[in-house]
Chains A and B, each alone.
Chain A
Amino acid sequence: MIQVNQLYHSYKHNKDYAVNNVSFEIQEGEIFGFLGPSGAGKSTTQNILTGLLPMQKGTINVNGLDIKKPNRDYFNTIGVSFERANVYKKLTGIQNLEFHAKMYDVETDDPMKLLEKVDLADAGGKKASDFSKGMLQRLVFARSMINKPKIWFLDEPTSGLDPATASRIKAIITEKQKKGTTIFLTTHNMYIADELCDRVAFIVDGKISLIDSPRNLKIKYGERFITVEYIKKGNLMTERLSIVEQKDKAKLNHIVNNYDIQTMHTNEATLEEIFIKVTGRGLLE
C-alpha cells in the first residue's frame, strides 16, 4: 500500500508550490489514476514517488516503509514508463532492454518476450533511432516491465498510439493488475482513466480536488443525457438534453411530439465533463 501525506514541492524553494498539500492512498493491486491538465502537478508528484525529485515536505509510506530517501530495494520494486521516449537511440531495441535489465538486483523478464508482448519482436534488432514514435513509446513501456515491478508508474502510456496498439497496452495493464501489481497512472486522457482505473484523483494547480471511483463520480456528479437528432423546417437539428432535469425533459417531450426524429441516443456524463464541473478547468488547458 502507498500512503502519501501532506506532500508539498516547490521548484523555487518558496511558497509557490507545484504540489500543494497532496494526500492519497493506493491499495495493493489497485489502478489509481492521477488526472489533470498539463502543469497541474501530476508529473511532479510522480517524480517524487519515483525518487527523481527529492522530498521537501510530507511523507510517503510504501508497505510500511518511509521512503524519504528511496534505497536500492525500493528501486528494485518499481517500474516507470515515461511519456517521453527516453531510450538510447544508437542502441537496438533489444540492447536497450538488455542494458536496463542488468541495472536490477532482482530477477528480470526476458527482453525478447517483452518485445513480443508489445508487438516489437520483429524490430528488436533495429536501432531505436529507426523506430516510429509509437514504437518508441512501446519500447519505453516494455522497459518499465523489465524488473517485474510491484509498483508500476505509467505516464500517458497510450499517448501517440493507434487504437489497436493502445488496446493491446491497456490489456497488458489489466493483466498486470490481475497479478497484483499496484499501478499509478498519470494521464489527461479521461477515457483511458475511465476504462482502467479503480479510483481517480483530480489534480489542478498542485491540489487534489477529489478522489473517488469513476462509477461513484458519475453517480455523484454526472447527469444522464440524451442526444436527439430531428428535422425542423427542413434542417437537421441536434440537441443534448438531460433526462433528469425537468426543463430538458419537457423539451425532449416537445421534440418527440412535434418533429421528425432521426436518431436518439442516451449517453451518461464523461469523466471529462465531471472534471470540468468539479474543477472549473478543462483537461487540455
Chain B
Amino acid sequence: MKRFFALFKRDMLVGSKNYFFIIVMLTPILLGLLVRFVIPEETSTQVQVLIAMDEQIKEERSDLLHLYDGANQLDSKSAIQEAMKKDVNSYGIVFTKDNESIHAEVIFQGYESQKQRNLVLQSVEMMLNSDQVMQVDGVKTTELGQYSKTTIPFNLQLVPIFIVMEPALLGLFLIATMIFSEKEEKTILAYGVSPGKITEFLLSKVLFMFLLGVLGTFVIMALTVGIGTSFLKVVGILVFANLFGASLGLLISSFFDSISKAMIWVVVASMVLSFPLVAFMIPTFAPAWLKIMPTYPMLYSINEAIFPSGNSTIIGSSILILAVSGLLLFILSVVSYKKTLVRG
C-alpha cells in the first residue's frame, strides 16, 4: 500500500500541475452556471394538437374548428391516443356532447410540467366559453400514461448528461495525457526498473480520475440540484463509471506511441459513447444497439439517483454493467501495458 499511495500522491501532484487539470476543473463550474443561468427551465417546441369531436358539435360549434386552425382532426379518442404515441410532442383534446353540455377532455403525454398543462387547459376553457350558446361542463384531463409524471425543469434534466460527459468520462481523455506525459519524459523507465507493478501504476491513475470526477460532480450538483443524499448515490455510480471511462482511455492509449494518434480514437470513442444522450432526450428513440452502450444505463442511473422515480433497480443494474465492463477493460489495459508501456 505504501507504494500505491506514493504513486497516487505523485499523480495528484503531477496531475494537478497540468494545464489539462485546470480545464477539467473549470468545465463543471461552467456547466453548472450554464444550467443555472443560461438554459431555460422550459423550452417551447412546435406542439401538435390533435382534436376529435362529435358530429353535432362540428355543426353547432364550427368556431371551435376555426379556433384550432392547424390542429389535426381525428375521428375518435382512441385515434388520438394512437397518434400521440407516435408523436411525443403532441397532446389531444376530445370534445363530446351530453344533453346540452359540451365536455372537453385534454389528453397529455404525461411528461408536461404543471405550467404547460395549465396553459393548455386555460386556452381550452377560454375557447369553450367564447360562445355562451351552449352550457360548458368544464375540462377533464387524462394522461396517455407512457411517461411518468415529472415536474423536473428542463435545465435540470440536463444535469445527468453533463455529469456523464464530464466528471464520469473525463478519464477517457485525461488519463491518456498522463500516460503519454510519462512516456515522453521517460519517467516510466525509472518506474520500470523499480519493484513497482504496472497494475499499481495504472490503478493510481484511475483513482485520481475518480477523485477528479467526484470533485466535478460536486461542483455541478452544488450549482444546480444541490448536494443531498442523491450525491452519495451518484458518487457510488461514479466509482464504476470512472473505472469504465478511465480503463477505456488506458486501453486505447496502449496501442499508440503518441498522444496525437491516440486522441483521434479517444474522440471517436467519446462520440460513440454520447449516442445514448439522444435516447435520453427523446425517450421514444431507444434502439437496442444504443441500449447496450454503458453510457445508456449510466445516464439513466444517474438520473434516477438525482431525480428518484422509484425505479431504483436501474442503479444496481447499471453499477453491475459498468463494473463488469470497467474491470474487463482494466485487465486488458494491464495486459497491453505490460507489453508496451516501458518499451513504448
A261 at the A/B interface (Cβ < 8 Å)? no
Shortest distance between the CB of B190 and any CB in chain A (Å): 5
In the complex where A51-B193, A75-B195, A105-B195 touch, is A91 in contact with B14 (Cβ < 8 A)? yes
Contacts of A140 in B (CB 8 A): 190
In the complex where A53-B343, A75-B194 touch, is A99 in contact with B189 (Cβ < 8 A)? no
Contact with A along B168-198 (1 / 0, CB 8 A): 0000000000000000011101111111100
Is the beta-carbon distance between B195 and A76 smaller than 8 angstroms?
Answer: yes
Contacts of B193 in A (CB 8 A): 50-52, 75, 78, 80
Is the beta-carbon distance between A104 and B10 smaller than 8 angstroms?
Answer: no
A148 at the A/B interface (Cβ < 8 Å)? no
Is the beta-carbon distance between A91 and B185 smaller than 8 angstroms?
Answer: no
Is the beta-carbon distance between B186 and A86 smaller than 8 angstroms?
Answer: yes
Describe A's contact surface by its main secondary structure: loop
Contacts of A218 in B (CB 8 A): none
Chain A residues with a Cβ closer than 8 Å to the other chain, count? 26
Shortest distance between the CB of B287 and any CB in chain A (Å): 44
Contact with A along B59-94 (1 / 0, CB 8 A): 000000000000000000000000000000000000
Is the beta-carbon distance between B342 and A52 smaller than 8 angstroms?
Answer: yes
Residue in chain A with minimal CB distance to B6: A102
What's the Cα separation between A104 and B13 when bound, in Å? 20
Is the beta-carbon distance between A103 and B13 smaller than 8 angstroms?
Answer: no
Contacts of A240 in B (CB 8 A): none
Is the beta-carbon distance between B10 and A86 smaller than 8 angstroms?
Answer: no
Is the beta-carbon distance between B190 and A143 smaller than 8 angstroms?
Answer: yes
Contacts of B191 in A (CB 8 A): 103
Is the beta-carbon distance between A82 and B189 smaller than 8 angstroms?
Answer: yes
Contacts of A50 in B (CB 8 A): 192-193
Is the beta-carbon distance between B195 and A84 smaller than 8 angstroms?
Answer: no
Contacts of A143 in B (CB 8 A): 190
Is the beta-carbon distance between A103 and B195 smaller than 8 angstroms?
Answer: yes
Residue in chain A with minimal CB distance to B189: A86
Residue in chain A with minimal CB distance to B190: A86
In the complex where A53-B343, A90-B14, A91-B10 touch, is A103 in contact with B185 (Cβ < 8 A)? no
Contacts of A80 in B (CB 8 A): 190, 193
Contact with B along A100-114 (1 / 0, CB 8 A): 101111000000000
Shortest distance between the CB of B341 and any CB in chain A (Å): 10
What's the Cα separation between A140 and B17 when bound, in Å? 22
Is the beta-carbon distance between B17 and A84 smaller than 8 angstroms?
Answer: no
Contact with B along A118-156 (1 / 0, CB 8 A): 000000000000000000000010010000000000000
A88 at the A/B interface (Cβ < 8 Å)? yes
**Cross-chain pairs A/B with CB under 8 angstroms, 14 sampled:** A52-B193, A52-B342, A72-B195, A75-B193, A82-B186, A82-B190, A86-B185, A87-B187, A90-B17, A90-B18, A99-B6, A99-B10, A103-B196, A140-B190
Residues of A at the B interface (CB closer than 8 Å) are 50-53, 72, 75-76, 78, 80, 82, 84, 86-91, 95, 99-100, 102-105, 140, 143
List 8 extra interface pairs beyond A102-B3, A102-B5, CB under 8 A. A52-B342, A53-B343, A82-B186, A86-B190, A90-B14, A91-B13, A103-B191, A143-B190
